[in-house]
A and B are shown apart, each in its own frame.
Chain A
């Protein structure tokens, strides 16, 4: 009697764990929870963003989502012929996707910016750089947030 109870409990536990894993996998959103997909599409202007050139630096784990230090830089000679014009940062699980858009000119000479951002929960942060020729480059980072940063 005792043995069968033990077995059934173990079975129940494994079943439960399996079910939980299944929901987690099944529940993972294939696309963003907010307007970030549209923002990216609008920013890219019909071009497919290519991974590379952009370097997005964020902590892997952010203890306080209210102020997460972020550094972003783009590899570019920053001359009249070839420079970064816009650099957009989006977060895919904040109430709204847009975070900040930096604008550069050949006068800048360096395409790099650093600020502190709010992240409501664990999510992907995406940086997209638009060059003067219209091409779009990107980088993404997953940030695990311990305490969300949208108050309320």
Chain B
């Protein structure tokens, strides 16, 4: 699953200090809840992304602890106030430990 390319969209990558930047992210993932059964009646084991984190220059900006009640292909949208330029690092962590990461640069003047 590590070859998955997440989709990230920032409404602006250059901003004035204090501007609010909106971030939309989407990653392909089955988000198997562990509640479903296959045709033979066996429970399909749970496999979800259980954590999503966003850091700005290594400092935590936003994160989410995710339960099976989040839909497949988890979509996460949040907003933050631009305070410094730098690199946003996005990380999705799977139940099996696989990490999906992506980065975006922002410039704040």
Contact = CB atoms under 8 A, between A and B. Distances in A.
Q: Are A and B genuine complex partners? A: yes
Interface stretch (A4-12, A13-21, A44-52, A95-103): A95-103
Interface in A99-123: 99-105, 107-110, 112-119
Do most interface residues of chain B lie in helix, strand or loop, or is the interface mixed? strand
Contacts of B36: 150-152
Contacts of A116: 70-71, 74-75
Interface string A78-100: 10000000000001001110111
Interface in B19-34: 20, 33
A12 B6 CA distance: 61
Contact of A150 (B33, B77, B78): B33
Contact of B61 (A66, A91, A108, A149): A108
B105 interface: no
Interface residues of A, number: 32
A146 interface: no
Nearest to B18: A109
Contacts of B81: 78, 108-110
Interface string A54-69: 0000000000001110
B45 to A, nearest CB: 14
B66 to A, nearest CB: 5
B69 interface: yes
A151 B67 contact: no
Given A114-B77, A150-B33, A107 B71 contact: no
Task: Sort A-B residue pairs by CB-CB distance and give the 3 closest, nearest first.
Answer: A109-B81, A114-B77, A98-B67
Interface of B: 20, 33, 35-37, 56, 59-72, 74-83
